[in-house]
Amino acid sequence: MAELFIKQAENYADGRPSYPQELFQFIASKTPSHDLAWDVGTGNGQAARSLAGIYKNVIATDTSPEQLSLAPRQPNIRYQQTPPTMSIAELESNVAAESSVDVVTIAAAIHWLDLPNFYQQVKWVLKKPHGVIAAWAYFIPEINGSVDAVAQRFYNVLLKPYLHPAVKLAEDKYRSIYFPFEPVDGVDDTGPPLFVTEKLMNLDDYFTFFRSWSGYQTAKEKGVELFSDDVIEEFKHAWAEDGQDQKVAKFPIYYRIGRVGNM
């Protein structure tokens, strides 16, 4: 699915929120050792940078060279472009050896993957039995009642017809995603959000967030501009109601976490 994000790589880097440190501390608390993390679909390295503050080394992979080019470099992060599918030999060469990874993370990307193939790779690289896989995502940011109502109409009526079917898994908060891993301390599913990330936005920032979606690019390639003058005016009116140019956008995070066990 890399081609869906190539043309808006800069919008993605500018428009998407970072993740709260508490999320990474929670994940790290489930892995007995902190030697090596594999961040899959790293994009511009948002999650990899936080993982690098906890794990000795991070391998951060993505199929998009455009996304990887925007990722800030750190001494203990190795960014690696990978093909959409890898043999075990390629996995060992590009990522890591068998049973050598403490945690595999996938931030806002697992719904794009070939899950049966990917899970075979995860089970091969994770340390057994305590290696952990953690996938998480967010959806439409929460601003206030007026803006959120316009955003829901924009999503359901204008944007949704251009979205790839895989986005349905994210819309469903990963509750229906295939996830064949053991619960970690009784935790394996998404429920009421434990973590919320925030980003200070003005209206242009808010538009940039939506322009980073794959569906926006798909519509644009079909000659459809989703942000028509009428849509922009509707958003402007809702945004101006409270008199604040900048607003705190809240992104509740839902996640799946599991342990590889002796698979």
Residue 246 lies in a domain: no
pLDDT at 14: 53
d(CA 15, CA 64): 18
Residue 158 lies in a domain: no
* Per-residue pLDDT at 7 exceeds 80: no
What is the extent of the structural domain holding 92?
1-143+165-199+251-259
pLDDT at 76: 98
The answer to whether the peptide bond before residue 20 is cis (omega within 30 degrees of 0) is no
How do residues 105-148 score in pLDDT, each as one tens digit?
A: 999 999 989 999 999 999 999 999 999 999 999 999 999 999 99
Residue 18's pLDDT band (cuts 50, 70, 90): confident
pLDDT at 6: 45
Residue 44 lies in a domain: yes
* Per-residue pLDDT at 223 exceeds 60: yes
How do residues 31-63 score in pLDDT, each as one tens digit?
A: 999 999 999 999 889 999 999 999 999 999 999
Residue 40 lies in a domain: yes
Residue 123 lies in a domain: yes
Length of the chain: 263
pLDDT at 102: 98
Residue 83 lies in a domain: yes
pLDDT at 4: 46
Q: What is the mean pLDDT of residues 228-248?
A: 97
Cβ neighbours of 234 (radius 10 Å): 15
pTM value surpassing 0.85: yes
CATH of residue 12 = 3.40.50.150
Q: Which two tokens stand for residue 207?
A: 């538009």
Domain count, the chain: 1
Residue 226 lies in a domain: no
Residue 20 lies in a domain: yes
CA count, 13 A, side-chain hemisphere, 115: 15
